[in-house]
Amino acid sequence: MSDRRIRRITIVGGGTAGWMSAATLARVLGPDYAEITVVESDEIGTVGVGEATIPQMATFNRMLGIDEDEFLRATRGSIKLGIQFVNWGKLGHTYFHPFGHIGVNMEGVSFHAFWLRLKHLGLVDRIEDWSLQSTAGARGKFMRAINAGRSPLSEIAYAFHFDASLYARYLRQYAEARGVVRREGRIVRVHQHPETGFINSVELADGGQVGGELFIDCSGFRGLLIEDTLKAGFTDWSHHLPCDRAVAVPCEGIEGIEPYTRATAHKAGWQWRIPLQHRIGNGHVFCSQYISDDEAISVLLSNLDGKPTADPRILRFKAGHRKQVWIKNCVSIGLASGFLEPLESTSIWLIQSGLSRLMAMFPDRDFDPATIARYNRILTTEYTEIRDFIILHYKATQRTDSPFWDYCREMPVPERLAEKMAVFMDHGRTFRENEELFNDTSWFAVMLGQLMMPKGYDPVADVLSLEETKARLAQIKDAVSNSADYMPTHREFLRQNCRAD
C-alpha cells in the first residue's frame, strides 16, 4: 500500500454538492481508507433549489447502491421525461425536449434525416409524435422499461424531480452511516502551507480547526477555498448568458403531476415549474438589466398553479466557471466550480461528473500536476459544451417583443455553436462531439423546437423510397402511441411504487 495515500479528506460545504461528494467518497473508498469530514454552517445555509435532473442521475444512484423507489419516497420526488418549452421560438409556440431516442435509425441513417425529408414534403407535423418520452409526457403517463423486444417500452429514459433539501438530508444520512463526520461551524480562516500554498486546515468561528490532505470545496458561489484562498479566477460568460438572478417560490400542487419540467419564456428570462409529490417548485430566472426584482417576483407570482407556500427568495449568480477547478490539494465541486443556469438541469450532473472524474484521477499526496491539468481541461470542456447548448435556446428565437429577446437574437455566439447551427441549417445534421453531454437527438430536438428549419434534408435519406419511408414512419408513430396508451398514469406509478408519507 502506498505511503503517499491520502488519509484525511475535508469537504467544505453541506449543500447538494457537499453531501453528494461525501456519499461518493464514503461509498467508493470504503470505511478504512481515509477520515472524511464535512464542515457546514447552518448560519449560512444552502442554495437548496436544484430540483430537476437528467437521466444520468440514475447511474449516480446505482453507484451509491440506492434503491430508486426509496430515494423518490424520501425526497418526495417525481419522474421527469424531458422538458416542455413554452414561448421560446415565438410566443404561443411549445415544444418538448425529450430524454432518450426519437424514432429509430434505419439502414444506418439517422431517423432525423427521414423525418426531415417528410417534413419538407409537408407530410409530417410534430417530431414529438415519434418520441415515447414526449408522447407519454403529454399524456401524463409513466412506467419503467420492460423486456418487450423491439417495442419502445423496452427503453424508457427518465430522470427525477426532487426536493433539494430532502435530498441533502437523505445523502447526509447515507454518508454518516458510512463513517463520514459532520462538523457544524462557520469557517473564518483558511490556513495554507507557507511554502507550497497547499491548504493545511480551515479555522472555525468557535476557534476549532479542521485539517486535511485533500480539500473538496463545496462552499457554493463564493468558492471559499478555490477562489477566496487560491485565486482560481473566473471565466465570465454573462455576455452569452445574460440572466443573472432568479426568484424561487414553491406553491401548492395540483391533482395531476406532470412527468416533465416546464420552462416558460417571459419577457426578460424564463420560469421553471417542477412538480413534486407534495408541491410545485417554481422560479423565474431573469436578467436584472431588463427587469427589476419586484417585477420579476410579480411575473412569477402571477404565473403559479397554486397558493405560494413560502416567501419568494432572490438568488444572484453569474454564468461561467473557475479558470481552474482543481488547484494544489483543493478540488471545487458544485457552485464553487461554476454556474450555468438551470435551463437544461445540468448543475447536479456537473457535480456527478466532477466526482466521477475525481475518483478516476484520485490523487495521492504528491498531487501530480499533469493529472490536475487534465482534470481541469476535461471539466472546462464540459462546461463549454453545455454552455453552447444553453445559448442555443436564447439565440435561435423569432421573438421580437422585448429588448431582452432582441439582445439574445442578435448576440454573437461562440464559434463552435455558430458552426453547429450552420451545419444544421444546411441539411439538418447534428453531431455529438467526443464525450459531449447532449447527443445529436437533443441538438435536433432543440434546434427544431426553436423553429430552425434546415433548407434541405440529408440526401442519404433517399436510400429508402418515399413510400417505404412513409410506411415505416407511420409504423413507428403507431408503436409509440400504443406504448404510451399501455403505460399507467404518472400519479398511479408514484402511488404504487414510491408514494411519500
Exposure class string for 239-274: b at 16+ Cβ within 10 A, else e: ebbbbbbbbbbbbebeeebbbbbbbbbbbbbbbbbb
**Does 437 interact with ligand FAD (rule: CB under 6 A)?**
no
Q: Work out how close the CB of 78 gets to ligand FAD at its nearest, in angstroms, rounded to a whole number.
A: 13
Ordered DSSP codes for 149-168 = TTSGGG----EEE--HHHHH
Query: For ligand FAD, how many residues bind (rule: CB under 6 A)?
Result: 39
State the binding string over 272-311 for ligand FAD (x if CB under 6 A, else -).
-----------x----------------------------
What residues form DSSP beta bridges with 163?
A: none
Burial (Cβ within 10 Å: 0-12, 13-18, ≥19) of residue 374: middle
The span from the CA of 275 to the CA of 52, in Å, is: 10
52 interacts with ligand FAD by CB under 6 A: yes
- Amino acid type, 247: V
Q: Which residues contact 468 (CB under 8 A, 6 or more apart)?
A: none
218 makes contact with ligand FAD (CB under 6 A): yes
Walk across the sheet containing 234-236 and list its strands. Answer: 234-236, 320-322, 338-339
Residue 124 in grid coordinates:
409530417
Among 82, 259, 275, 342, binds ligand FAD (CB under 6 A): 342
Q: Judged by CB under 6 A, which stretch of 65-73, 331-339, 400-408, 487-495 contacts ligand FAD?
A: 331-339
Minimum CB distance to ligand FAD smaller for 118 or for 319: 319
Q: Which residues contact 395 (CB under 8 A, 6 or more apart)?
A: 408, 409, 411, 413, 417, 421
Residue 6 in the binding site for ligand FAD (CB under 6 A)? no
Query: How far is Cα 407 from Cα 404, in angstroms, rounded to an integer?
Result: 5
Q: Does 187 bind ligand FAD (CB under 6 A)?
A: yes
Binding to ligand FAD by residue 347, rule CB under 6 A? yes
Examine the residue annotation and report whether 318 is marked as an active-site residue of this protein.
Answer: no
Least distance between ligand FAD and beta carbon 410 (Å): 26
Please tell me whether residue 186 binds ligand FAD under the rule CB under 6 A.
yes
Point out which span in 50-58, 302-310, 318-326, 481-489 binds ligand FAD (CB under 6 A): 50-58
Distance CA 216, CA 18 (A): 8
41 scored as a contact of ligand FAD (CB under 6 A) = yes
Neighbouring-strand partners of residue 209? 203
The per-type count for the chain, helices as H runs and strands as E runs, is 14, 21
Asked if 242 touches ligand FAD (CB under 6 A), the answer is no
Closer CB to ligand FAD, 139 or 222, in the complex: 222
C-alpha cell at 105: 435509425
Q: What is the CA radius of gyration of the chain?
A: 23
Considering the complex, state which of residue 114 and residue 160 has its C-beta at the smaller distance from ligand FAD: 160
Query: In this complex, which beta carbon is closest to ligand FAD, that of residue 128 or of residue 227?
Result: 227
15 binds ligand FAD (CB under 6 A): yes
Scanning residues 163 to 182, which ones bind ligand FAD (CB under 6 A)?
A: 164
Residue 250 within binding range of ligand FAD, rule CB under 6 A: no
Taking CB under 6 A as the binding criterion, the range among 48-56, 140-148, 323-331, 441-449 that sits at the site for ligand FAD is: 48-56
Among 28, 29, 44, 359, binds ligand FAD (CB under 6 A): 44
3-class state of residue 498 by DSSP: coil
Binding site for ligand FAD (CB under 6 A): 13-18, 39-41, 44-53, 164, 186-187, 218-220, 224, 246, 248, 283, 315, 317, 334-336, 342, 345, 347-348, 351
Could you give the residue numbers annotated as active site?
80
